[in-house]
């Protein structure tokens, strides 16, 4: 479990860097009028792969964590009353799933069209969702 947490921790840095990079590249392509999409599509594929791997690791760890809570007798009402538990069990996973969904929608739209404002908006919303519930206190520890 600890090894998965380490991988999840360090993959978060790569995922953030990739998401910011594709946003910068998308804005560059949009403003310059460039038609070079090969790099953008490849970067989008790597970003989506990173996000999906991150989500898979997170859900495996969450399943283990929630199972241990259930075995120790913690109920949903107890989770909702405790801010730390609510963050770990509900808020963080939900927002990360939303970020992955938005980025995946942007990736699918990118396959059909260039970096349109809609694609850029979806990537921006994915980054906002990701940053809104990222555990910054644990990120640099």
pLDDT digits (tens, 9 = 90+) for 90-133: 899 999 999 999 999 999 998 887 888 999 999 999 999 999 98
Alpha-helical (H) ranges within 1-141 are 2-32, 38-71, 76-81, 83-86, 92-112, 117-132, 136-139
Decide if pLDDT at 15 tops 90: yes
pLDDT of residue 97: 95
CA 3, CA 109: separation in Å to the nearest integer?
35
What's the rounded mean pLDDT across residues 41-62? 93
Q: Look at residue 108 in the predicted model and tell me its pLDDT.
A: 94
Q: What is the rounded average pLDDT for all residues in the chain?
A: 88
Q: What's the confidence (pLDDT) of residue 40?
A: 86
Share of the chain above pLDDT 90, in %: 47
Closest CA to 118 of 22, 26, 20: 26
pLDDT, residue 9, reads 86
Share of the chain above pLDDT 70, in %: 96
Query: Could you tell me the pLDDT band of residue 2, with boundaries at 50, 70 and 90?
Result: confident
Question: Does the structure show a pLDDT above 80 at 37?
Answer: no
Tokens for 76, please give them. 């949903």
For residues 106 and 79, the answer to whether their CB atoms sit within 8 Å is: no
- Vertex 55, ends 2 and 23: CA angle to 5°? 120
Whole-angstrom Cα distance, residue 29 to residue 87?
37
């Amino acid at each position: 479990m600890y090894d998965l947490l380490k991988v999840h921790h360090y993959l978060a840095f790569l995922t953030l860097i990739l998401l910011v990079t594709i946003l910068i590249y998308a804005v560059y392509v949009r403003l310059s009028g460039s038609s070079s999409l090969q790099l953008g599509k490849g970067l989008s594929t790597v970003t989506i792969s990173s996000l999906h791997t991150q989500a898979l690791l997170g859900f495996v760890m969450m399943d283990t964590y929630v199972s241990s809570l259930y075995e120790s007798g913690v109920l949903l009402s107890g989770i909702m009353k405790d801010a730390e538990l609510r963050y770990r069990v509900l808020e963080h996973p939900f927002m990360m799933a939303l970020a992955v969904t938005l980025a995946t929608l942007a990736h699918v739209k990118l396959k059909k069209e260039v970096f349109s404002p809609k694609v850029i908006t979806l990537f921006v919303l994915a980054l906002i969702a990701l940053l809104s519930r990222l555990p910054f206190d644990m990120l640099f520890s």
